[in-house]
Structure 1
């Protein structure tokens, strides 16, 4: 296990199930026969890894905590180093997974093959928590994002939320399934897609009103202080104890949506770390998510595209990104 290269990092991400993302294209996808593809593109992946990649590209202070195993794990670390992403890794016995995305050129359809991930022992997950605690000393935000691999208990993210409270960091969670279902308290912000919110509610949510009601329930139960619901081409919803806001989606050409939600989270947290209001931070996150549609495969969004989509506002119009940290308005630690 290695340690952070700095003593102070404003954003720390946790990815319990990272992946080596492989993307390619072919004319048609068919069964039983060989599907010959174009060149492969390789990127480090997994929710928190992508958040750290985007935050780093946007010149934010970020560090990624992740378990790695086998050759794919080593390759992920090499790729992150190439992108200048600070990492804190924990070695595990099993091999880090690979995910494959194939674009079908004849139809414009995209096929995504996502593996379950390596089995983690109790000692390995405890080592990840220890690495996270050390990395978050002085950190303002901790972002836990992505699925939980086999061997990790369903309430693991609640344990992370408790650790963040003890450390005085604001906890941001972007996950689905059992990870979200077992969160009971401690989040500053939860980001969920409309499908993930439906899964949490245990029923289909027919329309915006039902989605707002479900989001309000998450808040009233004490799970989180606020929730951001991404809804594809429909406006995103930011729900707080005092009401909600809609954020129209950018009209973008058809492209790869892989990692768009991760980029959205990264943009929001980067904005908040620069002392912007939640409204401005979400708008920035929307621009980051849309900019991912302009990159091939699982490549990260380009900062120039992000700023252009963010109403072409000049960098100087916002607070100094390296100014002293302040707590976002309304947040409690």
Structure 2
């Protein structure tokens, strides 16, 4: 019941300023041991996915903690896993501010951050310092390409990142679906995706031999795909033995927010208006994959009911980010409880 009051303060600020202060606030709560006051008790719901043991099926999506600086604080809220990034080989400032916009009437956000991050070395130092990770917590690392790397050489950036993060990651998420890096979504197309997945899989095999451990690869895709593209991606994921798919990233569509303040801003739309489309992609993938690899469902989760719907549609795990902004830490416990109840029912 405390979060609506806190949110009112944060929503009086510029969205990106509020983001920075909010993370600092979560860090302070965790340091004082008060994080559970906001989140509540999170139901245990263990599940083995990608060869990893998750204590519950509710995760934090990439984008909130780009540099992995707040892993322990966020984990204290009860998330079953934390995904950090997107990280690029070199630090980059991202797009000019303002670049983050709320549409509170529809519980939505538009962002055009542009993979702003401090680079892979800084992220790795933060992950190494995380008590959550050292204690066996699941930390996914989301990787991307630098904005000035030509799209023809994008695979090189992904391979550099994969090489660097492999020993530190519980799993690696390959982000080819952000709408905020020029031409990035071209990598989702037939031949480009096949070539990228082949190189990533070969690198994963080599790194598993070098490090003596297998770190799963997950591909993060866009919601703005035709049915035939979803089928093609599913076929390529199976062919190249990728370990999971994350569905979905933000959308360039504006359905559900037309005419509202900030709806004309360029960037990816997330939050409540994305729920139906992202869940439809989960359903399409579930049918196309027929259980051959797990799906992580993300997009528009604003309640426990939404989280359970992703699981019912075919996801094994869920993630959220925008729902966390609008609903606060209590959404973690609510989502975990709703999903756990599916098994009991």
Is TM more than 0.5 here? no
- The structure with the largest helix share of the pair is 2
- The structure with the largest strand share of the pair is 1
Normalised by the length of structure 2, the TM-score is 0.42
